[in-house]
Amino acid sequence: MIKITLKDGSVKEYPKGTPVIEITNDISRGLAKNALAAKLNGKKIDLQSPVNEDSTLEILTFDSEEGPDIYRHSTSHIMAQAVQHLFPGTKFGIGPAIADGFYYDFDAVENFSPDDLAKIEEEMAGIIRADLPFERLEVSRDEALKMFKKAGENYKVELINDLPEDAVISCYRQGDFVDLCAGPHVPSTGKIKSVKLMNLAGAYWRGSEKNKMLQRIYGTSFPKKSLLDEYIFRLEEAKKRDHRKLGAELDLFSVQDEGPGFPFFHPKGMILRNELENFWREEHKRSRYEEIRTPLILNRSLWEQSGHWDHYQENMYFTQIDDIDFAVKPMNCPGSILIYKSKLHSYRDLPIRLAELGLVHRHELSGTLHGLMRVRCFTQDDAHIFMLRSQVTEEIIGVIDLIDRFYKVFGFEYHVELSTKPEKAMGSDEIWDMAIDSLKKAMETRGMEYKINEGDGAFYGPKIDFHLRDCLGRTWQCGTIQLDFVMPEKFDLVYIGEDGQKHRPVMIHRVVFGSIERFIGILIEHFAGAFPIWLSPVQVKVLTVTDRGLEYAREIHDVMEQNGIRAEIDGRNEKIGYKIREAQLEKVPYMLVIGDREVDNKTAAVRKRGVGEKGNIGVSEFIEEVLEDIRLKR
């Protein structure tokens, strides 16, 4: 007999070699019905696996952390089987689970069409109905190679060859389909209930553009139709919030054929943008930054000196002036450095924090452009901090605090990631290690948790990235803090120390919004266009019931404008319901309805976005409330 410790701490005894499924049945019928796989001593296994020693056992259902991945992974095998049935000769790439679903990459004889997805779904339904068991087969490396070579599965052969020496090579079979796979899988195809194939896309084998492009089918699956419906509903919600759609509807910005990746900001979008910049300037002044502005176009020699010529050329735009080569800036740092170098600095002056709302241009691949989120020119809310080595930790903490303050204003939560030395890097390992340690130290001092991204740093230094989470749970990289010992060296930056000698300062490059354009895109989607009042392009709309109210409406409109409130009058000859509907679609935070009653009592009937009618109120009282909301950025 062996002892099995369950998740709740209870211990049960079973004969050695009892399959997990029997233990599960013994625990509870309900659990056995929902069980997908299990975790034995922390290792994920199939329900059919026998237990041979004293162990801790956790049964995984769809509701467990690992459940959905196992469920979707099994679904991807079913999809592959369906494709094999319908499109003989197709070779198979990989088919993992991803967040919210799965995909499988195929090298098919012919391209799939969107109509094929429906056919594949149908075939999958048949496989699911057949309730084929998933069988695990462990094979030797030679057997595996022989089997997949014979089948002409060259991608699988490549995968097997790349497996570590000591790896257990396993395959899973359901019916007539066998796939190389570590597992685990659900017990049988019948476990899969609601499947939807979402879309079709090209994807390079192993993610490298040097390799062949395979066809990827994305899909998802759920144990209940209601969960699938809910998921599809969420996707539709996200679509409704799409900043490209709302940006056009709310007349905030546009992207035109004449400028792919170069967004146009319309008057209302500019209000939003200027509010963000005003807030940014206030906060940076308070944190003792000085604002600068550097030119968009600078001489080639500068970019050679900074290393951008060698490390960033493929993303840069070039031009000539009087036969001399110039580049459009892809980053603001060299300009900022030139300002630092324009005079001699004492150690007493440091740290010097030079902030710049800098418009940068970067050549992005045409296929990647996306509204305001991925563009070819954008404004970084940049700053470069020149400081003593002894000031590094304190300055980094200062930036972390600043970023934290900003995101809280918008109600964003975030997590941070630390990126280390990339392949295309400048500077010695020693300098990099020192820089990475400084960033770690600052985060640890502040008690922050962080994830490490090996090899993901900028070419001149490691960085901390801030990923904020929007109301739909999606994450966006916005703020970054990059520590740089390399540029000061390249540009021979100095300050005069206490000893009267020249010393080398250290630099921080950092952004808070990241890109103002992208940040606006995120705000649009986060708030679904219903911005907090301090950002709303129109804060109050005054609606007249008849033109008898027009004069009084103008009066209160003027008072609001004098108080700095962005107000508009809708005095058109339309029914009040029509005007309300329109203002509602414009997502204006407050409407004031003006009819004969309001004119007579010198009040306004307030209608608040998301609340509805709030009753009548004196105009000055209303203005005070609105101003308070704006001031507190509610």
Partner RNA sequence: GCCGAUGUAGCUCAGUGGUAGAGCAGCGCACUCGUAAUGCGCAGGUCGUGAGUUCAAGUCUCAUCAUCGGCUCCA
Query: Residue 497 or 595: which CB sits closer to RNA?
Result: 595
Judged by beta carbon, residue 223 or residue 532, the one nearer RNA is: 532
Residues 427-456 touching RNA, rule: CB under 7 A, are 456
3-state secondary structure of 497: coil
Residues in region 93-132 near RNA by CB under 7 A? 111, 113-114
Whole-number minimum distance, CB 350 to RNA, in Å? 25
| Smallest separation, CB 149 to RNA (Å) | 26
Please report, as residue ranges, which positions from 248 to 277 form the binding site for RNA (by CB under 7 A): 248, 255, 257, 260-261
State whether the Cα torsion 57-62-63-66 is positive or negative.
positive
- Applying CB under 7 A, among 339, 580, 619, 627 the residue interacting with RNA is 580
Q: Is 575 a catalytic residue?
A: no
Query: What is the CB neighbour count within 10 angstroms for residue 212?
Result: 11
Given 179, 381, 382, 484, which residue is catalytic? Answer: 382
Stretch that binds RNA, among 82-90, 386-394, 402-410, 568-576 (CB under 7 A): 568-576
| Interacting positions 373-412 with RNA (CB under 7 A) | 373-376, 378, 380
Based on CB atoms, which residue is closest to RNA, 255 or 387? 255
Given 333, 361, 539, 570, which residue is catalytic?
333
366 binds RNA (CB under 7 A): yes
Q: Report residue 56 CA to chain centroid gap.
A: 37
Q: Per CB under 7 A, does 477 bind RNA?
A: yes
Per the CB < 8 A criterion, the answer to whether 599 and 552 are in contact is yes
For this structure, is 288 an active site residue?
no
Distance (Å) of CA 105 to CA 31, 368, 388, 573? 33, 21, 52, 59
Q: Is 227 exposed, middle or buried (0-12, 13-18, 19+ CB in 10 A)?
A: middle
Build a one-symbol-per-residue string for 523-562: x at contacts with RNA by CB under 7 A, - elsewhere. Answer: ----------------------xxxx--------------
Known active-site residue 353: no
Contacts of 289 (CB under 8 A, 6+ apart): 353, 354, 355, 383
Neighbouring residues of 234: CB distance < 8 A, sequence distance ≥ 6:
472
Q: Which of 91, 156, 273, 362 binds RNA (CB under 7 A)?
A: 362
- Asked about 562 being catalytic, the answer comes back as no
Nearest approach, Cβ of residue 64 and RNA (Å): 25
Burial of 224 from C-beta contacts in 10 A (0-12 / 13-18 / 19+): exposed
Q: Which stretch binds RNA (CB under 7 A): 65-73, 269-277, 360-368, 439-447?
A: 360-368
Task: Show the tokens assigned to 447.
Answer: 């008690």
CB of 218 to RNA, least distance (A): 7
Amino acid type, 619: V
- Cα–Cα distances (Å) from 66 to 55, 144, 218, 258, 363, in that order, read 19, 27, 19, 47, 40
The yes-or-no answer on residue 380 being catalytic is yes
| Catalytic site includes residue 284 | no
Check binding of 577 to RNA (CB under 7 A): yes
Nearer to RNA by Cβ, of 167 and 232: the residue is 232
Query: Which among 48, 84, 380, 482 is annotated as catalytic?
Result: 380
Q: Is residue 246 part of the contact set for RNA (CB under 7 A)?
A: no
333 is annotated as an active-site residue = yes
SS3 454: coil
The 3-state secondary structure of 83-130 reads HHHHCCCCEECCCCEECCEEEEEEECCCCCCHHHHHHHHHHHHHHHHC
Chosen residue from 558, 561, 574, 624 binding RNA by CB under 7 A: 574
Instruction: State yes or no: residue 501 binds RNA (CB under 7 A).
Output: no
Say which amino acid occupies 78.
I
Q: Could you give the angle at which helices 154-162 and 141-150 cross, rounded to 10 degrees?
A: 160
Task: Show contacts with RNA in window 159-218 (CB under 7 A).
Answer: 199-204, 207-209, 213, 215-216
Could you say which of 353, 361, 463, 607 is catalytic? 463
Active site residue ranges: 333, 362, 380, 382, 384, 463, 509
